[in-house]
Structures are given as C-alpha cells and as structure tokens.
Copies of this chain bind each other. A is one copy, B any other.
Amino acid sequence: MYSETIELRGHIIDSLILPKVLDQILTHGANFKITEINIGKKRADQSFARLEVSAPTSEALDELILRLRQHGAEVAKRADAQLVKAPADGVFPLDFYVTTNQQTFVRIDGKEIEVHPAMMDSAIALDRKKRIARAVKFFDVCKDDEIVVSHEGIRVVPVQRSTSRTDLFQFINVIIDADEPKSAVIRGLARELQSARAANGKIAIVAGPAIVRTGAGRHLVRLIQSGYVDRLFAGNAFAVYDVERTLFGTSLGLNPDLAFARGGHENHMRAVNAIREAGGIASAVKKKVLTSGIMHACVAHNVDIVLIGSIRDDGPIPGVTTDAIEAQKIMRETLADVSHVLLLATIHHSLAVASMLAPTVKTVCVDIDPSAVEKAVEHQPLQSIGLVTDVEPFLRELADCVVEAESAGSARK
C-alpha cells in the first residue's frame, strides 16, 4: 500500500469538504485513517483534519491525491511545484496541471503565490522573477514559458459556506422545480440585486431569444432602466429578435396578438438587413432607426453588450464576434469584475459563461428544462440557485419587485 498524509482546513464539515474528500477516497477504492481532527465548536469557527490516505498503487494514490487537492486537501509534506517549459507556442508540456475554478496557490521556493485569474481548465504559467502565477489558455502560452506540471506544490481553497444567516446564496446547489413556489426566491433575489447595486457589484445578464419571443423583453427593459444590468451577453439571434419586434412588431414574422398565425422568416431577415444598413446597433440607435426595445435600452443606459456568433446565425449584424476563440477572450474580460450573473433561457451561452466565472460569482439560472438548469449551476456549488420555469413570468415578477422597491426607496427620500 502507498500512502500520503493530507490536511483539511476551514468549514470542512458544513461546506462538505471533509465528506467530499471521504467520498472520493471511497469511490477510488482507497482507504483512510483520521490521525487528527479538531471540529470548530461554533458556526463561525474553523475546523482542521489530518488524514492518512492509502491506495494499492502509486498511480492510484497520485490520481486520488490530485482529486483531493481539488476539493481543498493539502498534502502535509509540502513541496515546491514542478515546472517544465512549454515545447512550442500554444502547446503545454506533458502532464501540465489543469486548473479548477477555485482559488489556487502554487508553491515556489517555499512560498505560495496565488494564481490569477481563478479560471478553470487552464494551465499555470509561472514568472519566477516577477513571482506571478497566471492561469493560461492554450492560445496564451508561448514556447519556453514555465508551466506547472503534476500537482505537487498546488493548494486549492474551495469557496466555503457563508456563515451569514440572511444570505440567499448560503445553500448548496438549490434548484426550485417546476412544481415548487418561486415568488419567495424571486423577492429574495430582488433584494440581493439591490444590495449588489448599492455595493457597486456588477450584474451580468446572459439572455436567450425566448425572452423576446415570449414577450418578456419589456420586463428586461425595466431592469435595465432601473440600473440593474451592467453587462448583457447574447447571441446574434437575440439581438435580431429584439430588433424585429421593435421595427415590425413581430417575432419570427408572427404578430404576438394574433394568437396562432405562424409567420415567416422575412421580418427576421429584414431586421438583420436594417441593422447592417445602419452600421450596427449603436448607430441604429443614434440614427433613430431603433427607438425602443432591449438593445435600445442597453445603448441608452450604457450596458456593455457582448454579442456572440454561431453557425445558426442569419447575418450577422455588425458588432457580433463570430470567432469562437476571440469571443471567449472578450467574454472572460467582460466577466472579470462581475459579482452576479443571471443565466436566462439560453443553455449554450449559459454553460459557456458558467465555465468562465470565478467561484464567488453569485449565479442564478432560469430555464424551462430541468437538466439545463442543473448543468448551469453545478460549477458554483455554494453560490447558485436554479429555477425551472418559464422566463417570462420570472422576469415579470423580478422587474415588479425591483421597480416597487425602487419607488418605495425614492418615496422614502
């Protein structure tokens, strides 16, 4: 048997760190012995545990220790990280360490450096002189950059459970199902967003076309007008649906007041054409081609708009980033200072954004498909809420709560 001693620190029981570590050990067919344990007496107290982990082969132990480190375990016998030079531009050395989205430290010359940003599925490049550790994507790496390999010298600090009792996000991967009440959560979310705004938090919305098609656009506009949206991420289709609705009053050619008539794709194409002719969304607002709607509200209220292209797009309209790698870079930059994200009815963009978030970003996902909601919140275990519902009533109720609170607030002054 091969063994290693690991240590755990923090709220290791109620944040599920110790249970997850034990679960990993058992799942990998390994064994453990707890050599020391010291559980915090009160809620706010820290705990500590030291475990001896053993596995039948050295490889199995190594694989297991990697996994335990990702859940916050530290190896007792501290070593420096191992570095290997990148063999070519855009290529990492064999066995490079793959990051999680948790706060991560790397030990060099006996001292730890924090890796920035906290970005998953990257390698860690180290600048020894400047003592800087960067999480880098493939396109970021140049030949001879020093890259961390294996997982020695790595320490991960998982997000711990909030000890505040009033925090909407103090629970573990909460999902409100279709047949459960949502009003209380929506009211709580309105309060959370108000606090966020008061504290200069940045709120991002990732928005799917169903928002426009179901008629929920006007509720999103109210949120924008009240100052609750700092960034908007969407596809070309979302913007075009909004423009079609503003210019022609239709959605896929369908006037929403005619209950059933299935319209055609003509107005959608003409909306693309109109924005191309105007030179883009901002120009269209300036030239008064576009005088209302979500995109207009974004321009009027200085919301940063990130439009992302796809192989299903018509057009696209100017301003859409059609290259996927370029779009990833822009998304990452625009998400860097965000504190709250609402993922609304757009699984593809939601999963992309969710994989780019720092672990402390508070995340709400709304979708009518339960499995979409589940996947979107799984990366933020202690910071996310999912709601399985229609996006239209969600946005209506959220905007009602926010606007009500606003007018109550201004009345008070």
* Residues in chain A within 8 A of chain B (CB atoms): 13-14, 16, 18-19, 22-23, 26-29, 31-35, 37, 39-43, 49, 66-67, 70, 87-88, 90-92, 94-96, 98, 120-121, 123, 138, 161, 165, 168, 170-172, 174, 178-185, 188, 209-210, 213-215, 251, 254, 256-262, 264-266, 269-270, 272-273, 276-277, 308-316, 322-328, 331, 345, 348-349, 351-352, 355, 368, 370-371, 388-390, 392-393, 396
Whether the Cβ atoms of A179 and B213 lie closer than 8 Å is yes
Out of B27, B87, B96, which one reaches A261, CB within 8 Å? Answer: B27
Task: State how many copies of this chain the complex holds.
Answer: 4
Out of B179, B327, B368, which one reaches A210, CB within 8 Å? Answer: B179
Whether the Cβ atoms of A256 and B181 lie closer than 8 Å is yes
Output the nearest chain B residue to A92 by Cβ-Cβ distance: B273
Whether the Cβ atoms of B91 and A276 lie closer than 8 Å is yes
* Cβ contacts under 8 Å, A49 to chain B: 39
Q: Provided the pairs A19-B14, A273-B96, A368-B178 are in contact, do residues A171 and B87 lie with their beta carbons within 8 angstroms?
A: no
Tell me the bound Cα distance from A35 to B95 in angstroms.
45
* Cβ contacts under 8 Å, A389 to chain B: 368, 390
Tell me the bound Cα distance from A18 to B39 in angstroms.
12
Whether the Cβ atoms of A174 and B266 lie closer than 8 Å is no
Q: Which of A94, A180, A322, A396 has the most CB of B within 10 A?
A: A180
Out of B16, B98, B316, B345, which one reaches A265, CB within 8 Å? Answer: B98
* Cβ contacts under 8 Å, A66 to chain B: 264, 266
* Cβ contacts under 8 Å, A29 to chain B: 165
* Cβ contacts under 8 Å, A18 to chain B: 13
Q: Which of A180, A311, A355 has the most CB of B within 10 A?
A: A311
Out of B43, B90, B262, B273, which one reaches A91, CB within 8 Å? Answer: B273
7 contacts between A and B (CB under 8 A): A14-B23, A37-B37, A66-B264, A70-B264, A171-B260, A311-B349, A368-B388
Tell me the bound Cα distance from A31 to B45 in angstroms.
12
Whether the Cβ atoms of A183 and B26 lie closer than 8 Å is no
Tell me the bound Cα distance from A264 to B331 in angstroms.
24
* Cβ contacts under 8 Å, A67 to chain B: 264
* Cβ contacts under 8 Å, A370 to chain B: 370-371
* Cβ contacts under 8 Å, A311 to chain B: 308, 324, 327-328, 331, 348-349, 352
Tell me the bound Cα distance from A209 to B181 in angstroms.
12
Tell me the bound Cα distance from A324 to B70 in angstroms.
35
* Cβ contacts under 8 Å, A168 to chain B: 259
